[in-house]
Structure 1
Amino acid sequence: MTEHAWRLRGAAVAAAGALLAAGCAPGGGGAPNGGDLQGVQLKVAAKWTGVEQDNFVEVLSGFEEQTGATVEYEPTGEDTGAYLGPKIEAGEPPDVALLPQPGLLEEYAAQDALVPLSGDAAAALEENYTGYWSDLGSVDGEAYGILLKAAHKSIIWYRPEAFDAAGVQPPKTWDDMVGTTASTLSDAGETPFAMCGASGWTLTDWFENVYLSQAGPEKYDRLTAHEIPWTDPSVVDALETMAEVWGEGDYMAGGTDGAVQTDFPTCVTQVYGQQEAAMVYEADFVAASAAEAGATVGETAQAFPFPAVGDAAPVVVGGDIAVAMSENEGTQELLAYLASAEAQTTWAGLGGYLSANSQVQPDAYADDFTRQLSQTVLDAGEDVRYDMSDQVPSQFGATEGRGMWAVLQDFLRDPGDPEATAQDLEDAAQEAY
């Protein structure tokens, strides 16, 4: 794909009112009708904050208007499992939870903490999602979850003004990014990267992109399943590659200490608000945070594909899966609504959102960039891979202070011994598996 195709040409945030029209929501797939849930109160828990939370609450308001139900949003914080665990033990889980990992879904299903999809919710999943995506929310053939919000995690965002001043272009390979783009920016007095190291999941995303491109899809699958150990030379190679950026304190806003202490989305603000760095790596949902920081997506905020480390550039996809945790009235109806093209078209119009729903039309998105992202997933074919850390046991791949998050944060602090880091990853993996 050309650089031009990756330029963000449209506004990332657009009003959704027109998109609520029936003509913009084909394939409703079981969306509720008629205000038959008057007086029903439901709780939905998810990790989203800031603009993402605001947009999701706006989507929920459509369900409230249609059904008469009241939906309360509960933020879980970064560690969804740590939030939900005590709620489940106390017998007070939210009615609907958004799980950021299929691995967490499998754990809760094994604990009988989830209610299978039924009625309109099950029908919406079958109607609106292909087998690959629906399988992500299933355990032993039983459908529990709906991939509500997908995330394209193979993108690096940049500030064109900084690139233009330094005379550099978006790189196509890792070597070009490190050896030319970053070094030239640094020589010109511009810090190349803002790092989101306090949010450990962003560091696993760095690893996954480097590893997928360098080691290839087959090894990626084998490592995910722990069929090869984390001490495998391919893991060490990936860590050594990452150290080419992480080991250069001058390449990161605030140096090494700042990189470890900066969370997401503060790192986005460092690029587009404070202008302390030229680039930030993270997924398509950066668009919403960039806009909040005052950038115009498509003009002052642009992006390029994560550069190829090996033969091909990586395409890593993540996502949040909506599940029922109660049998309360309205729960399945809410899931049916969230799975509908109507609800997801509304969210697509607000920006910072990517749908896996096959009924959501391309013109639902507020910008050309997101349309291009959805196409890159299709173009990657069998080589696209789901986020590795989200597929492994959550205590290894998605728990603050443990597993991959903690080990990679330590590696960001001091990337001088990749072999020791690989051993730490293997030790944590053995404990989790």
Structure 2
Amino acid sequence: MSVHNTNKVLAVVISAATLVGMGACGGSSNSSAPNDSAKNSAKCGDYKQYGDLKGKTVTMYASWIDEEGSATDKSFDAFRQCTGANVKFEGSRDLAVQLPVRVKSGSAPDVAVVPQPGLLRSMVKTGKAKPAPDSVVKNVEKYYSKDWKEYGSVDGKLYGVAMDASSKSFIWYSPKKFKEKGYTVPQTWDEMMDLTKKIAKDNKGGNVKPWSVGIEGGSDTGWPATDWLEDAVIRFTDADTYNKWVSHEIPFNDPKILSSFKEIGKILKNNDYVNGGFGDSQSIASTAWQDAGNPLIEGTGYMMHMAPFYQTNFKSADANIKIDPDGDAWVFQMPGKEKGSAPMLGGGDFAFAFSDRPEVKAFLTYLSTPQWANERAKQLGGWVYPNKAMDESLLGSKIDKLSYEALTNPKTEFRFDASDLMPSEVGSGSFWKKMTEYFAQNKSEKETLDAIEASWPKDK
């Protein structure tokens, strides 16, 4: 959801009015400390721990713009009101490129939010990032699972706190159309393949296909295809293999990875199975991921692999679309090989600091609390949080709650998005590019994996 994770959340055209309202850098706030009446209107008991920060300024740089940027900025209002701090928020869709430039030039923000643990590690290696203060470490140990602490750590030391999370291993479908046709939600991978075959047979020779797939996204083209492969790897191998693949302890083109790739290739390269209304399997490369859900509503497709955040795209297209277990669109978790086995692929955004000034430590501590997660949940639907102590009732929709429950369920076999953990040259580089060529140039699974393996940086 990286530049990767963020673009998985929304693709929004910035209007001139939005740019003017949010600042010349793509989305910034120069909010100043509030007046006394605003301060008195806030419930400030939980904020006394941060002290009096009147006259202090904290800058924050993230990849959230437009609605996400505005809502995130508002989520800091209680902190501003109760501490007197001036939190200046800036959002930019070019953060992955611009943050390293800023750090190198000596103009790093106080706090940055990155969607890739790989980018967090590279920032730590510059020597400019600061380890999380003890107050953040205590909160992370209290409110987050061990996995989230590890993903925010570099060489065993905590730097980043997870601000939000995404659960990606879901399949969108139309409950209404399933009911009309007598189709049932599959409980195993084999059942999902049987359903795929049945839908194709029921619509043989027509323009209706079981699956709708799109991976085009401008400069970020290819990322939805990486999710397909990652979900296959966590289902057809094991945790140890997945972790070794991510860290390159085994090659990218390891036989187990190739075997997993071929499993999804049975769907994605079968023209009887994909892209009714768009074309054949090669059309996947040129079909915008934002449009991939249209066939589910229009009746030319039945299933789409995409994270729950896609609900925003449905609502943007038509506010009357009912997202509900009995409605026009809903999700089921991509099944595993065995019934009851449903590994979860996910991601998240991590906040970390380039300064250890007291006000910066206080602000980062606030971001690690359930109070902040609650404030942002009030402002923005379509997002979930890994903070186990947040108020679940504040989540914006049924599907947000479903996603949150899947992420926080102790039985969930959670794995962080592989492309977000790999070196950026691969994770958001050759991995995206070669998966796109897999469709556009009709490359084989072996050719694709071999090319990505050849691109892996020799020093990483």
TM-score by length of 1: 0.81
The Cα shift of 1:360 comes to 1.5
Q: Which has the larger radius of gyration?
A: 2
SS at match of 2:343: coil
Structure 2 vs 1, CA of residues 193 and 127 (structure 1 numbering), >3 Å: closer, same or farther?
Answer: same
Unpaired runs of 5+ residues, structure 2, are 1-40
Question: Matched residues in 1 for 2:113 and 2:410: separation?
Answer: 26
| CA shift digits 1:226-270 (9 cap, x unpaired) | 222222222222222222232245722533565323455x23663
Task: Report the residue type matching 1:142 in the other structure.
Answer: K
Question: Matched residues in 1 for 2:328 and 2:59: separation?
Answer: 38
Spell out the pairing of 1:166-315 with structure 2 (5 A cutoff): 166-172=181-187, 173=189, 174-181=192-199, 184=202, 189-191=207-209, 192-198=211-217, 199=220, 200-248=222-270, 251-252=274-275, 254-255=278-279, 256=281, 258-264=283-289, 266-267=290-291, 270=294, 277-293=301-317, 294=319, 295-298=321-324, 299-309=327-337, 312-315=341-344
Which residue in 1 is equivalent to 2:64? 48
Structure 2 vs 1, CA of residues 358 and 83 (structure 1 numbering), >3 Å: closer, same or farther?
Answer: same
Question: Matched residues in 2 for 1:183 and 1:143: separation?
Answer: 53
Report if the CA contact (8 A) 1:396-1:432 is conserved: no
Structure 2 vs 1, CA of residues 301 and 160 (structure 1 numbering), >3 Å: closer, same or farther?
Answer: same
The Cα shift of 1:109 comes to 0.9
SS at match of 1:133: helix
**In terms of mean alpha carbon deviation, does 421-430 or 382-391 score higher?**
382-391
SS at match of 1:330: helix
The Cα shift of 1:48 comes to 3.1
Structure 2 vs 1, CA of residues 268 and 107 (structure 1 numbering), >3 Å: closer, same or farther?
Answer: same
Spell out the pairing of 1:56-75 with structure 2 (5 A cutoff): 56-75=72-91
Which residue in 1 is equivalent to 2:148? 133
* Equivalent residue for 1:342, pick from 371, 375, 387: 371
**In terms of mean alpha carbon deviation, does 185-194 or 346-355 score higher?**
185-194
The Cα shift of 1:124 comes to 2.9
The Cα shift of 1:330 comes to 3.1
Which residue in 2 is equivalent to 1:89? 104
Question: Matched residues in 2 for 1:421 and 1:376: separation?
Answer: 32
| CA shift digits 1:375-399 (9 cap, x unpaired) | 33455647322222222222211x3
Question: Matched residues in 2 for 1:232 and 1:304: separation?
Answer: 30
Question: Matched residues in 1 for 2:97 and 2:109: separation?
Answer: 14
Report if the CA contact (8 A) 2:223-2:432 is conserved: yes
Question: Matched residues in 1 for 2:254 and 2:48: separation?
Answer: 48
Which residue in 2 is equivalent to 1:6? none
The Cα shift of 1:275 comes to 7.4
Is 2:366 the counterpart of 1:320? no
The Cα shift of 1:32 comes to 6.0
Which residue in 2 is equivalent to 1:365? 395
Which residue in 1 is equivalent to 2:3? none
SS at match of 1:221: helix
Question: Matched residues in 1 for 2:410 and 2:203: separation?
Answer: 31
Q: Give the number of aligned pairs.
A: 404
TM-score by length of 2: 0.76
Q: Which has the higher contact order (CA 8 A, sep 6+)?
A: 1
Unpaired runs of 5+ residues, structure 1, are 1-19
| CA shift digits 1:155-205 (9 cap, x unpaired) | 112233444455433333241353234664676644531423434332221
SS at match of 1:285: helix
